[in-house]
Structures are given as C-alpha cells and as structure tokens.
Amino acid sequence: MNQKTVKQSKFLSLVLRHQPDKIGLTLDEAGWVSVGELLTQLAAHGRNMSMEELEHVVTTNDKQRFSFNADKTRIRANQGHSLRTLDLGLQAVEPPEILYHGTAERFLESILQTGLEKRSRQHVHLSADTETAHKVGIRHGKPVILQIAAGRMQHDGLIFYHSANGVWLTDHVPVTYVEVM
Ligand code: HQG
C-alpha cells in the first residue's frame, strides 16, 4: 500500500467506525453507508476519493477492514466500531478450542482480576494464531500473549462471533478461561 492509500484507509476507519458525523454521514444500524453518499461527503470535506481509489483501499487493506455489499452500492467496516448502537448482524459460531489475545504486560494485573473487557470497542478481540496476537499486543507495549480456552467458554454457554476479516469476537472473557503463555 502506498502512503496515499494508507492515509485514505485511516480516514475511512475513522468515519466508518467512529465518527461518521465528521463528514456528515450516518451509518445504518448494521454499519452500512451508501457508497455514493460516502464519496460525495468525502469530496465535500476536501478528501476527494474516486470509486477506483475506494476499491483499491478496500481490496489492498492489510486487515480487510472494509466490505462492499454485492453490487458495491454500500460499504461498511467489518469490525472495530466504537459506536454503541451498531448491530453488525454477526452470526454466533463455534470457535476453535484455543484462541489467543495479545496485550501489553502492563495490563496483565488488571486482566487477571476482571478478565478481558471490551473497553472502548464493541467486543473483546481474539486471534486465531499467536503471530497475529503478538502484532495486536505490541501496539500497546511489551507484548504478552494470553491463551484463551474458547472451546470451554462455548461449552459453558458463552457466545463467539467471527468477523468477515477473521477476527474472533466475544463479550467478555472471565479470568478462569485465561492462561498467560
Ligand atoms: C486491554 C486492531 C486492563 C486489552 C488489532 C487491550 C485488533 C484490559 C486493550 C483490534 C482489560 C484494549 C483490537 C482489563 C482488556 N484490564 N486492560 N480488564 N481487558 N484490556 O485496541 O484487542 O487496527 O481496544 O488487552 O489488530 O488490542 O483496529 O483492543 O490491550 O484486531 O483494525 O485493553 O484492533 O485492529 O485495546 O485490538 P484495543 P485490542 P485495527
């Protein structure tokens, strides 16, 4: 991805996940917005983007953060929203036996008291492999990987979702399912 694409992608994350009103947009209850409206509003706020550029951002995004609907008339972020009212229509699915969560060492003490909380996001984010978890954790400081007994959680009635870009999501991970690796 070139620098311009990265910049456009970051701004898209901002408006499709956190602050659509920044450029006068409103997302529907599932997080979708009309592509035409998005391009118009971007232009109106000095962030001109062509349809080709938008398609380029969506297809080259390193984490597949965005999706178009089938006829490319609507777009949304796949996860990561901070808007509370959103219902992404995710289906509950059976998780693998073990999932991982990358975090920073400085959060450990607190996590081992209250479990994993969603903080400013809509869900707790879990990774299918340790490599991804490491990347997620290092964003916050000295990385630590937690092993999560996802199979046991599901067996105990806790629910998992799998987002379109492969992130595992759940509401809360109680301490009993967390093991420091
Ligand atoms: C921590 C990126 C203290 C939690 C990534 C994490 C991911 C606690 C931080 C996605 C805690 C929240 C999500 C507790 C949780 N006490 N700290 N009880 N419970 N925490 O960024 O999971 O670039 O909101 O461990 O790749 O790091 O946005 O969540 O360190 O997929 O697409 O509180 O964000 O993707 O941090 O990352 P975040 P995350 P995007």
Q: Compute the distance from residue 105 Cα to the ligand 1 centre, in Å.
A: 13
> For domain 3-77, which CATH number applies: 1.10.10.970, 2.140.10.30, 2.40.10.220, 3.90.245.10?
1.10.10.970
Identify the residues whose C-beta falls under 6 Å from ligand 1: 63, 65, 80, 103-104, 107, 110-111, 114, 116-117, 119-121, 125, 136, 140, 167
Of ligand 1's atoms, which has the minimum distance to the CA of residue 115?
Answer: 18
Q: Do domains 3-77 and 99-180 have the same CATH topology?
A: no
Q: Give tens-digit pLDDT for 6-28.
A: 999 999 999 999 999 899 898 88
Q: Give tens-digit pLDDT for 74-124.
A: 999 998 888 766 677 777 889 999 999 999 999 999 999 999 999 988 899
Of ligand 1's atoms, which has the minimum distance to the CA of residue 124?
Answer: 22
Q: What is the mean predicted confidence (pLDDT) over 35-62? A: 95
Q: Note whether 125 and 161 are within 8 A (CB).
A: no
Q: Compute the distance from residue 50 Cα to the ligand 1 centre, in Å.
A: 32
Q: Note whether 153 and 87 are within 8 A (CB).
A: no
Of ligand 1's atoms, which has the minimum distance to the CA of residue 63?
Answer: 32
Number of neighbours of residue 21 by Cβ within 10 angstroms: 10
The model's pTM: 0.74
Q: What is the mean predicted confidence (pLDDT) over 32-53? A: 94
Question: Can you tell me the distance from the alpha carbon of 7 to that of 108, in angstroms, rounded to the nearest whole number?
Answer: 33
Mutate which of 113, 136, 147 for ligand 1? The one with the most ligand atoms within 8 Å of its CB, which is 136
> For domain 99-180, which CATH number applies: 3.40.220.10, 3.20.170.30, 1.10.10.10, 3.60.130.10?
3.20.170.30
In the chain, at which residue ranges do the beta strands (DSSP E only) sit? 33-34, 66-68, 74-77, 99-104, 124-126, 143-148, 161-162, 168-170, 178-180
| Domain locations in the chain as residue ranges | 3-77, 99-180
Mutate which of 9, 10, 16, 103 for ligand 1? The one with the most ligand atoms within 8 Å of its CB, which is 103
Complex-level ipTM: 0.96
pLDDT of residue 7: 95
Residues pairing with 127 in the sheet:
100
